[in-house]
Structure 1
Amino acid sequence: MQAIDYAALALFILSWTLYSHITNGTIRLFERESLTRVMTEHRRRWILNSLRRDLKMIDTQILAGLQNGTAFFASTSIFALGGCFALLGATEKVDAIFRDLPIAFQGGRTAFELKVGGLTGLFGYAFFKFGWSYRLFNYCTILFGGLPMLEEARRDPAAARAAAERVIRMNAIAAGHFNAGLRAIFLSIGYLGWFVNAYLFLVTTAFVLVILVRRQFFSPARQLLMEDMRDEDVDESTGD
């Protein structure tokens, strides 16, 4: 392990932390909302819209889809953890392969095991985030089942709104943990560059972050959602 390795690892952790805060809106780097925050508003509109109808089968299907997606990534993280432990068992073979690569720095067995340990930590973090997100989506489903029917919501709109807000907050918290796990999965791709050398680690981390920032702040998906929100704001202001 050389100084450049420690510097690259520190920049990786710093970039991850900074990106998380920028996406969540606690740090304002761009004069625009992230795709994640825009979707939070659409979650709110979805839950509030469900108060206007008694038939909520579509809503329960949406919640089931959110849970299934979270369960898929949790299972994927478990498989990735198993792969990391398999790598630790084949350290000598992998180290021999890297010794034959002219572009790889020779860090030795200890350095390789430390890098695999870091990758294991990434996938372990992702698993706990996905696991907790799955449970919170389950709680969200239970809270959603307690929403009042249309007639009851009309009789007591304040209580209905309060119940809907609880569902919205729980759904947003679950989505936040899911997004945190997904970020760990994405950034693990950049982390793989460290197995070659620290310079490639920096390049792959920057490459992944550029892609993530573009998707959050400059993607066609975000532009589409913002246009939809502006159209709804115009309709409300004109009374149409």
Structure 2
Amino acid sequence: MTLVATLFPLVCWFAYNYGVPLLEKQRPSLSVIMSMQRRRWVANAVNRETPMDAILAGNLMGSVSFLASTSVLLVLAVFTAFGNLTALMGTLDIVGIHAGYSTQDVQIHLFVTLAIFVLSFFSFTLALRQFNHFCILLGAIEQSQHTTRDEIDAIAHLNTLAAKNFNNGIRAYYFAVPMVFWFATEWLSIVTSLVTVAFLIHREFFSSAHRVAASVAVLASRREQERG
């Protein structure tokens, strides 16, 4: 049961990543709606010669870079916990949340926690690289010439891929929370993992941000139809 509780947040993270695309076939998620807006962004960027698009892309890359650096610090913190395992076990006993785990149980748990933060680091660095490519492609657009729809779609798709990896890295932080609750009891880790999944599903499909983004997408679609 201890091992199951340790692996359960990681399993929930992977299950969410593979399960949400199935739900998106029935109802568009917030990420899908924002992907439509990313396409609009690129389509409008080809018709203006201002530094605004570079500033927006730079802000995105700054956020990703900050979280990637944070993941490195968290990885180092977990390594530090490995080196001070005896002190960690003593601290858990002092604060009264030690659930009778053995040293081996804690070592395995720290290893899984380390894996989560390492995967988040890879997600953030991949997102950073893809946002960098997006900036290059966006800057390579020639405003004086007609840009094809295929070119716009390709650049917007690269932006969407970067956002997907960024969101995946953010979810690693969410599912790291149940890993902390594991130190109290394994059942609390499992319950927190399920609550986290429910929270993420609500945020993607039923939140206020989803409703606002959907409304904007509908209004933009109507305006484009009227222009057409």
> TM-score by structure 2 length?
0.91
What's the offset of the Cα at 1:96? 1.9
**1:184 correspondence with 2:172:** yes
**1:42 correspondence with 2:34:** no
Q: Distance in 2 between matches of 1:118 and 1:56?
A: 46
**1:206 correspondence with 2:194:** yes
**1:16 correspondence with 2:16:** no
Task: Please list, as runs of the form range in 1=range in 2, the aligned pairs for 1:112-123 lying within 5 A after superposition.
Answer: 112-123=106-117
Question: Conserved in 2, the CA contact under 8 Å of 1:147 and 1:163?
Answer: no
Q: Distance in 2 between matches of 1:225 and 1:29?
A: 15
Change (3 A) 1:39 1:186: same
1:58 corresponds in structure 2 to 52
Q: Aligned partner of 2:155: which letter? A: V
Out of 27, 42, 63, which is 1:32 matched to?
27
What's the offset of the Cα at 1:94? 1.6
**1:71 correspondence with 2:40:** no
Q: Distance in 1 between matches of 2:83 and 2:138?
A: 46
What's the offset of the Cα at 1:188? 0.6
1:109 corresponds in structure 2 to 103
Out of 207, 221, 226, which is 1:233 matched to?
221
2:85 corresponds in structure 1 to 91
Structure 1: which 4+ aligned runs deviate by more than 6 Å?
Answer: none
Change (3 A) 1:111 1:6: closer
What's the offset of the Cα at 1:110? 1.3
What's the offset of the Cα at 1:22? 3.5
Out of 131, 136, 152, which is 1:142 matched to?
136
Question: Conserved in 2, the CA contact under 8 Å of 1:105 and 1:197?
Answer: yes
Question: Conserved in 1, the CA contact under 8 Å of 2:126 and 2:165?
Answer: yes
Q: Aligned partner of 1:165: which letter? A: D
SS at match of 2:23: coil
- Farther off after superposition, 211-220 or 62-71: 211-220
What's the offset of the Cα at 1:99? 3.4
1 or 2 for the larger relative contact order (CA 8 Å, sep ≥6)? 2
Per-residue CA deviations over 1:27-50 (Å, capped at 9, x if unaligned) read 127842111111111101100111
Per-residue CA deviations over 1:37-86 (Å, capped at 9, x if unaligned) read 11111101100111222x13100111101110100000100111111111
Q: Aligned partner of 2:126: which letter? A: W
Q: Distance in 1 between matches of 2:130 and 2:37?
A: 19
What's the offset of the Cα at 1:183? 0.9
Q: Distance in 1 between matches of 2:180 and 2:45?
A: 44
Per-residue CA deviations over 1:169-223 (Å, capped at 9, x if unaligned) read 2111111111111111111112211122211111221222222122111111111
**1:167 correspondence with 2:167:** no
Q: Distance in 2 between matches of 1:166 and 1:41?
A: 13
What's the offset of the Cα at 1:12? 2.8
Q: Aligned partner of 1:67: which letter? A: M
Q: Distance in 1 between matches of 2:79 and 2:97?
A: 25
Instruction: Give the length in aligned residue pairs.
Output: 228
What's the offset of the Cα at 1:100? 4.8
Structure 2: which 5+ runs fail to align? Answer: none
Out of 135, 141, 145, which is 1:152 matched to?
145
Question: Conserved in 2, the CA contact under 8 Å of 1:98 and 1:196?
Answer: no
Question: Conserved in 2, the CA contact under 8 Å of 1:67 and 1:138?
Answer: yes
2:2 corresponds in structure 1 to 5
Q: Aligned partner of 1:97: which letter? A: T
